[in-house]
Amino acid sequence: MAGANQTCIFCQILHDPNSTTRLLHTDEKVVAFQDIKPAARRHYLVIPKEHIPTVRDLQRRDEDYSLVSHMLSVGQELLQKDAPQTIHRFGFHQPPFNSVDHLHLHCFALPFMPRWKVVKYMSLGPFGGFIEAQKLLEKIRPLPSKV
């Protein structure tokens, strides 16, 4: 498992040929699958094939911005296809609130089920919590190069 963390459940899903997880999408950069404990009508995860522990490991560089943009695009396509008439929400947990140390985008077709699950996916401002995908993209957008 080159580039993988052998104790990471998501790396195991990616690299174990006997995994029973049904992939909804796969390409050269990411895979997507249903969350094992869905918190909404539709709840998918999009993960990079490369093991990146958390949003804190992302920087203001083209490759990180491109990866997160691609993850969001995949999530949007999946939900538009599977739940086109619902409100969609996309974001990441920030440490220490992430349950798996492998970057993963939560893709929701709302409403949350049960309703109290919304609490698990709220921003806690300077304390972290959940960060919307667009807000993360703003934070890691590469700065214009000075010529």
Q: Tokens 């899903």 correspond to what residue? A: 13
Q: Counting beta carbons within 10 angstroms of the beta carbon of residue 86, is it exposed (0 to 12), middle (13 to 18) or buried (19 or more)?
A: middle
**Given 51, 93, 104, 106, the catalytic residue:** 106
Coil/strand/helix, residue 45: strand
- Using the 8-state DSSP alphabet, how is residue 21 labeled? P
- Is the distance from CB of 97 to CB of 123 less than 8 angstroms? no
- Whether a cis peptide bond, with omega within 30° of 0, leads into 111 is yes
Please give the helix or strand (H or E) that residue 133 lies within, else none.
helix 133-140
Alpha-carbon Rg of the chain, whole angstroms?
15
93 is catalytic: no
Q: Give the catalytic positions in this structure.
A: 106
